Amino acid sequence: MNHKTDQLPHSGPCERNKQAIFDILAPLLGNACRLLEIGSGTGQHAVWMAKQAPHITWQPSEIEDNLAALKLRLDVEAPGNVRAAIIIDVAEECWSDHNPDILFTCNTFHIMSEQHVEAFWQHAGTLLKTDALVIVYGPFKYANEFTTPSNARFDIWLKQRDPASGLRDFEWVNELADKNHFICIADHAMPTNNQCIIWRKSSTKTQRKPLTIDG
């Protein structure tokens, strides 16, 4: 790292999980050209993963208050296939004119309110075409039960910080996906008690049991 990168906003979890997430993404990127990331944070994922997949046009985004920090990293490190960051608030009526093959978001659902998660899926249903993918990384509950005691403690901390936040129940999220024509095709167990869940846009609303892959 040089003196410029030393001063950039940095997330330890992003640095630690980028390879594990990309291992899931890589097989899905072969036929994709455009990826839209919701909540790009420090930009570490966008910069590093886009370098691993130079054929992908990676569109980072953030809410307005976080855009300046994201732009700092992109200005210094972004390869040519990363576009300039845009402002997206999932609660807004129209948050993108893009037509991505993949909609990707990492560690955002437990920060968003329930209304924002609902809006995310509504926009995804409108924005994405048949066979496009939604990939969500982060901690989840299943049947309203935490997968680990540490995730339960994390949920308490989140709610103390913001009562509207908290770990989301997979079944509730999957129901939202189903309402917007998305079928869950994989649920990967990830390091540090996270999941990487993949939905595919369907021309119908026929749901099927997701393929679970332990990792």
Task: Summarize pLDDT for 184-197 with one digit per residue, the tens.
Answer: 999 999 999 999 99
Tokens of 92: 């807004």
The mean pLDDT value of the chain amounts to 89
- Beta-strand runs (E) in 2-79: 34-38, 57-59, 61-62
Quick one: 122 exposed, middle or buried, by C-beta within 10 A (0-12, 13-18, 19+)?
Answer: middle
pLDDT at 31: 85
Q: What is the mean pLDDT of residues 142-149?
A: 96
What residue ranges define each of the domains in the chain, with the CATH number in brackets? 3-213 (3.40.50.150)
pLDDT at 205: 55
User: What's the rounded Cα separation, in Å, for the pair 139 and 146?
Assistant: 9
Q: What is the mean pLDDT of residues 5-12?
A: 71
pTM given for the model: 0.90
- Checking if the pLDDT of 120 tops 80, the result is yes
List, in order, residues 6 or more apart from 163 with CB less than 8 Å away.
Answer: none
